[in-house]
Structure 1
């Protein structure tokens, strides 16, 4: 398995994985992604924040990192952290424990970039997913209700999120 930055040639595959991820979310939870702007992904690629996991020459999983997330993490956003977003797995590779691989990669990345925390959020109410993230090494910090804002993707506008953190 190789973890590398995504390229502009990967955009169609990234959106196919987002669509497959959304379909899967709809089958297991009430909250799901509601689409993403192509320009957002292009910016993430340009800034080397969109990542892919490659197995046998195929993109098996994608994820995004950012260095701040003020609308979700509020005052904690001042901490030196990386935030993981939009993990989407190719359905052909589902069940391979990719989050554990992402965590191992993120710990090394955080150390190299002098970050003290790895953080992520997910829609609240999915205990199975919450427990999986805990098994992957995250500490569960609880449920966060966030204020309405146009600065967040559409799926954040109808509920709350469960927050997770790893101290590096």
Structure 2
């Protein structure tokens, strides 16, 4: 079940994202660290009504942020659509024990359906350049890679930006 995230979910979400970070690090992917993601990011997402969680057997097992805010870092990218009426996906995560079972697909399908139902022009996101699995995931869903941005607190490596026209 996918539902809106609540403040009382933050602790479970942080356990989930820490498990994901640890899993990525053991696979040589240094995408998430002690700076990101952090509780205040999720609190802001909840405040803006943009955080969704996936519950599996009564536990928060996944998360996704569907935002209308364009981060400053995205400004230099030559997007396929105008910088208006777009949504941005952030912090998509599935607990490592449940990865590979289609839950990330479910969350992305939910976000894409939301975009269609609300007449957005496109969906934009970024994924870490060292995370080949995520790149393949988005490319198989039809997302086009457009350019790179950097988040120095996370990594010296770039993040690839993607867009899907709705």
TM range (shorter): 0.7 to 0.9
For the residue of structure 2 that corresponds to 1:52, the secondary structure is strand
What corresponds to 1:96 in structure 2?
101
Aligned residue pairs, count: 160
Gaps of 5+ in 1: 147-151
How do residues 63-142 of structure 1 correspond to structure 2 at under 5 angstroms? Answer: 63-74=64-75, 76=79, 78-141=83-146
- Structure 1 partner of 2:159: 161
Q: Is the 8 A contact 2:17 2:95 kept in 1?
A: no
Instruction: Provide structure 2 residue ranges, at least 5 long, that are not aligned to the other structure.
Output: none
Instruction: Report the Cα distance in structure 2 between the residues aligned to 1:15 and 1:7, rounded to whole angstroms.
Output: 13
Indicate if the aligned counterparts of 1:61 and 1:90 stay in contact, CA closer than 8 A: yes
Give TM-score, length-normalised by structure 2. Answer: 0.84
What's the offset of the Cα at 1:23? 0.7
Alignment of 1:53 with 2:57, yes or no, is no
Q: Are 2:10 and 2:42, in contact at CA under 8 Å, matched by a contact in 1?
A: yes
Give the superposition deviation at 1:99: 2.7
1:15 corresponds to which residue?
14
The question of 1:39 aligning with 2:40 is answered: yes
Higher helix fraction (1 or 2): 1
Q: CA deviation at 1:140?
A: 2.5
- Structure 1: which 4+ aligned runs deviate by more than 6 Å? none
* Helix, strand or coil at the partner of 1:154: coil
Q: Check 1:103–1:39 CA distance in 2 against 1; reply closer, same or farther (3 A cut).
A: closer
- Whether the aligned pair in 2 keeps the contact of 1:44 and 1:64 (CA below 8 Å) is yes
CA distance in 2, matches of 1:139, 1:103: 15
Which of residues 135, 144, 148 in structure 1 aligns to 2:148?
A: 144
